[in-house]
C-alpha cells in the first residue's frame, strides 16, 4: 500500500488504494464465523429440511469524494465557538463528531462548540453530505481551521499576558503559561475584551479580539475504506424461509472519531443491506404500474429481522488526510446482499442452486430449489 490498480477512478485520476489490510480483514471474519463448526453441523445434518450455510463477502469503498469542503470557526465574545460546515447532517452525527474534532484541535471543552451545517450565509461554498465524504472533507477542514484558530488565540493571549507564545498552552478553554504559577486567561475573557491599543476598530462595529478562520479542504485522492462480512444462515427447504443465525462484520474506516457513531453507521447499513437481500423489492404489473406502492406490500425489515452483529474493526489510517479518517456512512450496506446470497448457495449446495438475483424471499428460494439452473 498504496496499491496502484492501473485503472482510473470516478474523478478520472489513476486509481489507488491508499491503505488497508485486506488479508487480516478476512482472517478475522473467518475466525469469528467458526467455519469448521459450520462444516461439522453441515456434515451432521438435521434431517428436517433445515440446511445450514455460510458465506463471505469483502468490499472496498472509495470515500472522501471531492472536490472540497468548507469549515469556518468563529469564537464569540462569550467564549462559545461556532463551527459552520458546508455538509449538513441527515442523522449521521455531524454535530457530535465535528464538535469533537474542533474541540480537540482548538483546546476547548466539547460543550462550548455549536455546529451548523449547510448554512450558506456562514459557508457560501460547500458540496454536501453524499458518498461517505463528510468526515474526510468537512472533518479535515474543521481540524485545520481549529488549529489556525488555536494559534490565533495563543498569539492574542501572548500579547495580553506579556508572555511569549511558545510559553503558553491552551487546554479546556484556558490559555496559561507553561511555567508553574504563571498568568492565565480563559477564552471568554480574551475574546470579549476590546482590541489592543493601536488595533483598527472592526468594520462591523463589533468589539473583542477577532478569532475566526475559514478553511477549504481539498482531498488529494480517495480514502479507501474496506471490510469483510460473514453470515451463517439456516434455510428451510420446505418453506423457503432464510434465517440469519450469525452475522459477522469486520470493517476498516481508518481512525475512528466516535466509536458509538461508527457502530451505529455500520449497523444501520447492514440493516439496509439485509432488507435488500431478503425482503425489499419493487414489483410492477404488466401495465408498468408498481404493485408495491405502500409498506403493506413493500417489506422493510424491523428490529426483529436484524440479528445482533458480531463486530470487529481494524484501524489503518489513511495517508490522504491529516486525521487519517475514512468514510463510513455506506460501508455496512455494501456486503450484505452478496454475503447472504453466498450463504444461501452454500446451504442449498446439494440442489446445485446458483443465486443470480434477490431478494431471497421464501417463494424465490423455493423456486431456486425446484429449478436451480434458472438462478432465481
pLDDT of res. 48:
85
The DSSP bridge pattern shows strands 168-171 and 174-177 to be: antiparallel
Q: Is pLDDT above 80 for 375?
A: no
Cβ within 8 Å of residue 316, ≥6 positions away: 1, 19, 20, 21, 252, 254
Closest CA to 189 of 204, 175, 203: 175
**Cβ–Cβ < 8 Å for 67, 128:** no
Which residues, including other chains, have CB under 8 Å from residue 360's CB and lie 6 or more apart? 242, 277, 278, 340, 341, 344, 376
Query: Quick one: what percent of the chain has pLDDT higher than 90?
Result: 69
The CATH class given to the 3-64+221-374 domain equals alpha beta
Q: What topology is assigned to 69-217 in CATH?
A: Aldehyde Oxidoreductase; domain 4 (3.30.365)
Which pLDDT score is estimated for 327? Answer: 94
Average pLDDT over residues 229-240: 95
Total residue count of the chain as it appears in this document: 376
DSSP 282: -
Q: How far apart are CA 187 and CA 103, in angstroms?
A: 13
Q: What is the pLDDT of residue 69?
A: 93
Phi, psi dihedral angles at 169 (to 5 degrees): -130, 160
What's residue 180's pLDDT?
86
Q: Would you list the DSSP string of 35-76?
A: HHHHHHHHHH--SSSEEEEEEEEEEEEEE---S-EEEEEEE-
Q: Is the pLDDT of residue 201 over 70?
A: no
Residue 194, pLDDT > 70, answer no
How far is it, in rounded angstroms, from Cα 4 to Cα 333?
Answer: 26
What whole-number percentage of the chain has pLDDT above 70? 94
Q: Taking 80 as the threshold, does the pLDDT of residue 23 lie above it?
A: yes
Average pLDDT over residues 323-340: 94
Pinpoint the residues of the chain covered by CATH 3.30.365.10: 3-64+221-374, 69-217
Residue 17, all three cell numbers: 488504494
Tell me how far apart the alpha carbons of residues 1 and 319 are, in angstroms, rounded to a whole number.
10
CB neighbours of residue 371 within 10 Å: 12
Q: What is the mean pLDDT of residues 173-178?
A: 90
Write out pLDDT tens, residues 244-299.
999 999 999 999 999 999 999 999 999 999 999 999 999 999 999 999 999 988 99
Identify the pLDDT of residue 376.
57
**Mean pLDDT within 348-354:** 92
For residue 130, name the pLDDT band (cuts at 50, 70, 90).
confident
- What tens digit of pLDDT does each residue of 71-113 get? 999 999 888 999 999 998 888 889 999 999 999 999 999 999 9
Amino acid at each position: 500500500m498504496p496499491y496502484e490498480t492501473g485503472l482510473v477512478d470516478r474523478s478520472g485520476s489513476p486509481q489507488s488504494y491508499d491503505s488497508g489490510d485486506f488479508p487480516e480483514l478476512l482472517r478475522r471474519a473467518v475466525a469469528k464465523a467458526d467455519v469448521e463448526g459450520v462444516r461439522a453441523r453441515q456434515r451432521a445434518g438435521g434431517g428436517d429440511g433445515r440446511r445450514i450455510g455460510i458465506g463471505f463477502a469483502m468490499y472496498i469503498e472509495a470515500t472522501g469524494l471531492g472536490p472540497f469542503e468548507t469549515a469556518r470557526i468563529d469564537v464569540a465574545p462569550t467564549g462559545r465557538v461556532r463551527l459552520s460546515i458546508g455538509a449538513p447532517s441527515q442523522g449521521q452525527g455531524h454535530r457530535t463528531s465535528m464538535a469533537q474534532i474542533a474541540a480537540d484541535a482548538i483546546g476547548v471543552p466539547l460543550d462550548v462548540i455549536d455546529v451548523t451545517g449547510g448554512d450558506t450565509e456562514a459557508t457560501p461554498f460547500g458540496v454536501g453530505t453524499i458518498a461517505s465524504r463528510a468526515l474526510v472533507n468537512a472533518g479535515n477542514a474543521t481540524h485545520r481551521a481549529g488549529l489556525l484558530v488555536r494559534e490565533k488565540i495563543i498569539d492574542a493571549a501572548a500579547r495580553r499576558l506579556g508572555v511569549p507564545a511558545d510559553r503558553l498552552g491552551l487546554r479546556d478553554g484556558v490559555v496559561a503559561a507553561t511555567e508553574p504559577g504563571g498568568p492565565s486567561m480563559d477564552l471568554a475573557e480574551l475574546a470579549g475584551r476590546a482590541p489592543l491599543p493601536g488595533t483598527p476598530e472592526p468594520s462591523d462595529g463589533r468589539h473583542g479580539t477577532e478569532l475566526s478562520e475559514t478553511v477549504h479542504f481539498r482531498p488529494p485522492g480517495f480514502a479507501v475504506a474496506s471490510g469483510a462480512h460473514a453470515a451463517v444462515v439456516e434455510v428451510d427447504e420446505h418453506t423457503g424461509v432464510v434465517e440469519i443465525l450469525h452475522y459477522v462484520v469486520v470493517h476498516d474506516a481508518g481512525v475512528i472519531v466516535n466509536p458509538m457513531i461508527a457502530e451505529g453507521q455500520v449497523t444501520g447499513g447492514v440493516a439496509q443491506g439485509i432488507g435488500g437481500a431478503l425482503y425489499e423489492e419493487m414489483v410492477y404489473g404488466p401495465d408498468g404500474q408498481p404493485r408495491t406502492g405502500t409498506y403493506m406490500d413493500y417489506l422493510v425489515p424491523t428490529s426483529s429481522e436484524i440479528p445482533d452483529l458480531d463486530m470487529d474493526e481494524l484501524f489503518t489510517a489513511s495517508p490522504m488526510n491529516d486525521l487519517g479518517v475514512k468514510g463510513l456512512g455506506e460501508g455496512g450496506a455494501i456486503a450484505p446482499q452478496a454475503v447472504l446470497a453466498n450463504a444461501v448457495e452454500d446451504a442449498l449446495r446439494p440442489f446445485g442452486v446458483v443465486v443470480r438475483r434477490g431478494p431471497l424471499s421464501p417463494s424465490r428460494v423455493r423456486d431456486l430449489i425446484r429449478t436451480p439452473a434458472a438462478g432465481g
